[in-house]
A = this chain, B = another copy of it.
Amino acid sequence: MTALVEAPDVTAIRGDFPILSRTVRGGRPLVYLDSGATSQRPRQVLDAERSFLEQHNAAVHRGAHQLAEEATDAYESARARIAAFVGADPGEVVFVKNATEGVNLVAYAMSNAGVRTGLGPESERFALGPGDEIVITELEHHANLVPWQELCRRTGATLRWYSVTPDGRVDLDSIELSERTKLVAFAHQSNVLGTVLPVAELVRRAKAVGALTLLDACQSVPHMPVHFGNLGVDFAVFSGHKMLGPSGVGVLYGRAELLDAMPPFLTGGSMIELVRLEGSTYAPPPQRFEAGVPMTSQAVGLGAAVDYLTGIGMDVVHAQEARLTEATLAGLAGIPGVRVVGPTTMVDRGGAVAFVVEGVHAHDVGQVLDDRGVAVRVGHHCAWPLHRKFGVAATARASFHVYNTLDEVEALVEGVRAAREFFGVS
């Protein structure tokens, strides 16, 4: 597959990212391999936000003066372009502060639906209680795990999970869904293992029992072409900061029909229809889920990020990351005592490579790399149960975006060798 799509001009792309030309730790060029945690931003995104703020900034959906109109237009245009980027209608895109808020939004809307006072029958499908189940997988990021634990705590429902196989795949036979399964939530791509999950099959199984689905697309939307409509999921979340866009903005996608029926989460200004002290009614989606003055310039910045990614082409981004991942797997395979946690082939696999070095703790691997200018993440990467499953407290993880190069992969591999030497395990 990597051969079919032409390679991007990475040198030109890197020129768009000011931070990539800085040095660290006494003059070493920065080798940024932590885009899975947060990506860097091109000038185009920084400029879009700045020119919005210097020319058009105002409170959106509130004012009747010219700036307010321009700001609202910029905000809604960003929504429309972001929606198109992920195969959604603009009305299906709710701006949230990060993916974590998106998951919490759905989890709280579901417990709110269980408080029936003042709600119509349309919200009933979101309600749950003792005996009902929420299903996740063992590889989830805490963001797609703890909110469901809390939902279960609030409602008395039970949390269950698909387990993970030793080669880092979801074991679809590990549990059976039932009529009591209300929602199945799962990552599109694991932020640790790199595994791409079988979305179609998970959706099919959920639909078969009438359960809703929520896709954690944090590690897919930034790295590959994604079309929520075609995937058939009910909800999906992703964050701006992982896709060359600003921090402080993310998206909850919800099928129009579901957002329409779902009770609100955060309440306050702009999400209401009619307010009396005795009670209030809610606006239609997406406004119903966007209380208060929103992250305006950040939505504009995310719109610019989507334009930038589209300009390169998401298939090109994906192919470039596949090249880097393949080289990383090959490079690490050549070092004795290095074990990759996750799939070691490119089948259904994206670009996060977590590994352990026998005899050297991940922190120490990370430190030696950092001293050489190579930035990776170490720890459990907010996927503690998964690490426990693999019997490790911490891994080192290299992750990529389209601006990374094969030379940087080489620097990583050299650094891992150096760490083994330094700690005398080679």
Contact = CB atoms under 8 A, between A and B. Distances in A.
Interface stretch (A64-72, A219-227, A306-314): A64-72
A339 interface: no
**Chain copies in complex:** 2
A25 B68 CA distance: 13
Contacts of A335: none
Give the bracket for the number of chain A residues in contact with chain B. Answer: 35 or more
B269 A143 contact: yes
Given A117-B153, A147-B268, A154-B115, A375 B66 contact: yes
A280 interface: yes
A189 interface: no
Interface string A347-380: 0000000000000000100110110001111110
A19 B161 contact: no
Contacts of A363: 64
A62 B37 contact: yes
Contact of A295 (B24, B64, B97, B268): B97
Contacts of A30: 67
Interface stretch (A100-108, A251-259, A403-411): A100-108
A239 interface: yes
A145 B277 contact: yes
A115 to B, nearest CB: 5
Contact of A54 (B19, B370, B379, B385): B19
Given A292-B98, A292-B100, A54 B64 contact: no
A112 B118 CA distance: 20
B247 A147 contact: no
Given A54-B46, A58-B375, A247-B293, A275 B385 contact: yes
A146 interface: yes
Contact of A146 (B25, B268, B296, B297): B268
A271 to B, nearest CB: 8
A412 to B, nearest CB: 12
Which A-B residue pairs are the 4 nearest by beta carbons?
Answer: A100-B292, A248-B295, A143-B268, A65-B375
Nearest to A373: B66
Given A62-B379, A65-B34, A276 B388 contact: yes
A374 B385 CA distance: 57
A261 interface: no
Interface in A19-40: 19, 22, 24-25, 30, 32, 34, 37-38, 40
Contacts of A22: 55
A66 B147 CA distance: 31
Given A19-B54, A37-B59, A65 B366 contact: yes
Of A97, A103, A154, A366, chain B has the most CB atoms within 10 Å of the CB of A97
A18 interface: yes
Given A19-B55, A64-B370, 20 more contacts: A34-B59, A34-B63, A37-B58, A38-B293, A46-B50, A50-B50, A63-B377, A65-B366, A65-B370, A108-B108, A115-B154, A138-B277, A142-B269, A146-B267, A147-B268, A149-B280, A248-B296, A248-B297, A248-B298, A272-B384
Contacts of A239: 292-293
Interface in A252-294: 264, 266-272, 274-277, 279-280, 291-294
Contact of A25 (B66, B112, B382): B66
A235 B63 CA distance: 30
Contacts of A38: 57-59, 293
